[in-house]
A and B are shown apart, each in its own frame.
Chain A
């Protein structure tokens, strides 16, 4: 089923790009290997769920645009609050990177169960089940597809490229065309020098959390048009692939990360189908394929930017 594999490859490539590019940028600025990226995806999806139920009940229709703006704002705010409450105090104590990583794991679990509580309360208040929610159809996208003569096209085929391109464009615009963006890159390259040159590093860090978490939440919104059942486990199911791709990119090179997203999506979709069809292997070996790629990458072309090392582009000369 090559056509179906191509479609899945296309969609998952976009999904992984939307999550991993902001993740790598966030790491370069904050130096946190951040497991709460799973929460950003899930909170993005659940802002969409709650808004969809509320809007349909109150107005009879929903809106992708409003959903995207709300998901971005909510998730960005949660990330900033997480930084102020957890990562900033730890950074001021000058703890090592592994302590920050463990803190992010704890925060990941806490935020997950906060979401369970919130959806439980909403379910009781609205007398409907929100712990598991159906696929969402966005009325403005339906209108768009009808006007474009694309009647019958799955919404995910429209929403995925739309949000992925929007996400990359926003990131590109901010980083290359704004003073704030240049400040972010300066802090990413060297926070000490950036501080000495007058950049308010603390503010840049908060802004980076807000921006990257907000952009990651778009992956959650994408997911609501793809999966038949949206649950608070959405982000957790993607975290292994996300970190594999980020490590392929060395947690530093955005270009290599993008290539990693395409590679992992290809291996998962084509590789699994080929092995299942011709060798009769179960599709449950998918994670094995993902990690085989990771291990091969680490052995053949170890990224030196990982865990606080220099950015990848500065290592090429040294390795020669």
Chain B
């Protein structure tokens, strides 16, 4: 009885299990991942899990090719797209001695973990949090995607150039939605003869029938010609499915943020037809003309049978940055890794392009693409149809005829 118990205790309490390497052996580093494997972002969260495994395979192969006797292992926890669970996960990682955590996905979750991460010197790299309110210098939060202050401008430009003049901004009432809506309103209002009406909705519901009915009333009473939807994937799918059955909402233009991009639920016949009818367009962070992105997308499809969705490229690059930063730091320490991360990011070019950070730890250079839901022989598909450059939109293809 004593021997097996002793073996169990020795292996579970060895330094190797806390994330730090054991002297004299091949070094193993643990990277924590807090992912939305359930909840509102689960649609893309499940794909992200595949990206994590792909990224770690590539990272481990790359470091071996450089002669490092090192292995990076993931510790993946589901945060259910909830703020408190994300915090609990980061706290669990801290107890395990993990100093680098990738995720969480939502800006409200990043906000929830920030204080703990800063106090405990845990480097947080979010591949998808974009709220401008979290662009704060000298903290332990890094984001491999540009702040939504820029995307809001891109979306405002897209909507205006497409003829929108009176817009209802229908957005999640959370960190992400409120900040995005605020910046969108600021930029859109700068154009001539425009009006913007703000309509937040409570996030986290399983159904948005009442909210969509309220939106229809608002569109009708204000005479709006467009709706701007700032949402995640499952709420967007629910909202668009209900909007498809509403005659008022089916007769205005729709413009979306990046959140719903890639969610398979949006490719149903109901939403696909609605997209054609309303000539639905969206913006998303995109580094155009990047052969590394094409290579990454091909590998993901071949190995796991899935297409990359929004932020898969930034997640992949977050993993690479984390690994190389740990190696460059020379020690498994939060402060050293943070300093190393900034330097590594200056020289790293990946599927999401250049990853250099600005003074706030956010991606310094970000392009925005325009996406649509188009009808093909295989059904409805997401397609990148153009990009936003300055005050104009360049379409590379005509999505709707």
Candidate in A135, A137, A286 with the most chain B CB atoms within 10 angstroms: A135
What's the nearest-Cβ distance from chain A to residue B153, in Å? 28
A131-B38 contact, Cβ under 8 Å, with A1-B213, A1-B220: yes
Contact mask for chain A residues 124-153; partner B; CB cutoff 8 A; 1 contact, 0 none: 000111011111010000000000000000
| Residues in A neighbouring B269, C-beta threshold 8 A | 137
With beta carbons under 8 angstroms apart, the residue of A4, A128, A228, A238 that contacts B213 is: A4
A57 CB within 8 Å of chain B: no
How many angstroms from the CA of A12 to the CA of B207 in the assembled complex? 12
B271 CB within 8 Å of chain A: yes
Q: Are the CB atoms of A132 and B210 closer together than 8 Å? A: no
Q: Are the CB atoms of B237 and A282 closer together than 8 Å? A: no
A189 CB within 8 Å of chain B: no
Q: Are the CB atoms of B265 and A132 closer together than 8 Å? A: yes
A134-B237 contact, Cβ under 8 Å, with A4-B213, A8-B213, A154-B245: yes
Q: Could you tell me how many residues of chain A have their Cβ less than 8 Å away from some Cβ of chain B?
A: 41
Q: Are the CB atoms of A137 and B38 closer together than 8 Å? A: no
Candidate in A134, A154, A236, A277 with the most chain B CB atoms within 10 angstroms: A134
What's the nearest-Cβ distance from chain B to residue A147, in Å? 19
In the complex, what residue of chain A is closest to B212 when comparing beta carbons? A4
A228-B265 contact, Cβ under 8 Å, with A5-B213, A135-B270, A284-B202: yes
A75 CB within 8 Å of chain B: no
Q: Are the CB atoms of B233 and A132 closer together than 8 Å? A: yes
How many angstroms from the CA of A116 to the CA of B42 in the assembled complex? 11
Contact mask for chain B residues 200-231; partner A; CB cutoff 8 A; 1 contact, 0 none: 11100111011101101100110000000000
| Residues in A neighbouring B270, C-beta threshold 8 A | 135, 137, 154, 228
Q: Are the CB atoms of B214 and A277 closer together than 8 Å? A: yes
B46 CB within 8 Å of chain A: yes
With beta carbons under 8 angstroms apart, the residue of A131, A237, A273 that contacts B206 is: A237
| Residues in B neighbouring A8, C-beta threshold 8 A | 209-210, 213
| Residues in A neighbouring B47, C-beta threshold 8 A | 129
How many angstroms from the CA of A4 to the CA of B219 in the assembled complex? 14
With beta carbons under 8 angstroms apart, the residue of A129, A226, A273, A277 that contacts B43 is: A129
Q: Are the CB atoms of A277 and B217 closer together than 8 Å? A: yes
How many angstroms from the CA of A3 to the CA of B105 in the assembled complex? 38
Q: Are the CB atoms of A228 and B271 closer together than 8 Å? A: yes
Candidate in A4, A226, A268 with the most chain B CB atoms within 10 angstroms: A4
| Residues in A neighbouring B213, C-beta threshold 8 A | 1, 4-5, 8, 269, 272-273
A276 CB within 8 Å of chain B: yes
How many angstroms from the CA of A228 to the CA of B209 in the assembled complex? 11
In the complex, what residue of chain A is closest to B203 when comparing beta carbons? A284
With beta carbons under 8 angstroms apart, the residue of B214, B246, B263, B265 that contacts A283 is: B214
A296 CB within 8 Å of chain B: no
B37 CB within 8 Å of chain A: yes
In the complex, what residue of chain B is closest to A223 when comparing beta carbons? B207
In the complex, what residue of chain B is closest to A233 when comparing beta carbons? B206
| Residues in B neighbouring A4, C-beta threshold 8 A | 213, 216, 246
Interface magnitude class on chain B: 35 or more
Q: Are the CB atoms of B234 and A283 closer together than 8 Å? A: no
How many angstroms from the CA of A5 to the CA of B245 in the assembled complex? 12
A237-B42 contact, Cβ under 8 Å, with A135-B270, A277-B221: no
Q: Are the CB atoms of B265 and A135 closer together than 8 Å? A: yes
A123 CB within 8 Å of chain B: yes
| Residues in A neighbouring B209, C-beta threshold 8 A | 8, 12, 269
What's the nearest-Cβ distance from chain B to residue A154, in Å? 5
How many angstroms from the CA of A97 to the CA of B349 in the assembled complex? 63
A272-B46 contact, Cβ under 8 Å, with A1-B220, A228-B270: no
| Residues in A neighbouring B207, C-beta threshold 8 A | 227, 237
A129-B238 contact, Cβ under 8 Å, with A1-B213, A283-B202: no
Candidate in B202, B207, B236, B306 with the most chain A CB atoms within 10 angstroms: B207
A232 CB within 8 Å of chain B: yes
How many angstroms from the CA of A116 to the CA of B80 in the assembled complex? 12
Q: Are the CB atoms of A134 and B306 closer together than 8 Å? A: no
Contact mask for chain A residues 235-278; partner B; CB cutoff 8 A; 1 contact, 0 none: 01110000000000000000000000000000011001100110
Q: Are the CB atoms of B237 and A229 closer together than 8 Å? A: yes
With beta carbons under 8 angstroms apart, the residue of A1, A132, A276 that contacts B234 is: A132
Q: Are the CB atoms of B239 and A228 closer together than 8 Å? A: yes
Q: Are the CB atoms of B263 and A132 closer together than 8 Å? A: yes
Q: Are the CB atoms of B43 and A1 closer together than 8 Å? A: no
Q: Are the CB atoms of B46 and A228 closer together than 8 Å? A: no
How many angstroms from the CA of A34 to the CA of B329 in the assembled complex? 56
How many angstroms from the CA of A4 to the CA of B209 in the assembled complex? 9
B291 CB within 8 Å of chain A: no
| Residues in A neighbouring B245, C-beta threshold 8 A | 7, 154, 156
| Residues in A neighbouring B241, C-beta threshold 8 A | 135, 226-229
User: 30 interchain pairs (CB within 8 A)?
Assistant: A1-B216, A1-B217, A1-B246, A5-B213, A128-B305, A129-B47, A131-B42, A132-B42, A134-B268, A134-B271, A156-B245, A227-B206, A227-B238, A228-B266, A228-B271, A229-B43, A229-B234, A229-B235, A229-B241, A229-B263, A231-B206, A237-B206, A238-B206, A269-B209, A277-B221, A282-B173, A282-B202, A283-B210, A284-B201, A284-B202
Q: Which chain A residues have a beta carbon within 8 Å of chain B's beta carbons?
A: 1, 3-5, 7-8, 12, 116, 123, 127-129, 131-135, 137, 154, 156, 226-229, 231-234, 236-238, 268-269, 272-273, 276-277, 282-284, 286
Q: 20 new A-B pairs (CB below 8 Å) besides A154-B245, A286-B210?
A: A1-B220, A127-B304, A129-B46, A131-B43, A132-B234, A134-B266, A134-B268, A135-B237, A227-B237, A228-B268, A229-B43, A229-B237, A229-B263, A232-B38, A234-B206, A276-B214, A276-B217, A277-B217, A283-B202, A284-B173
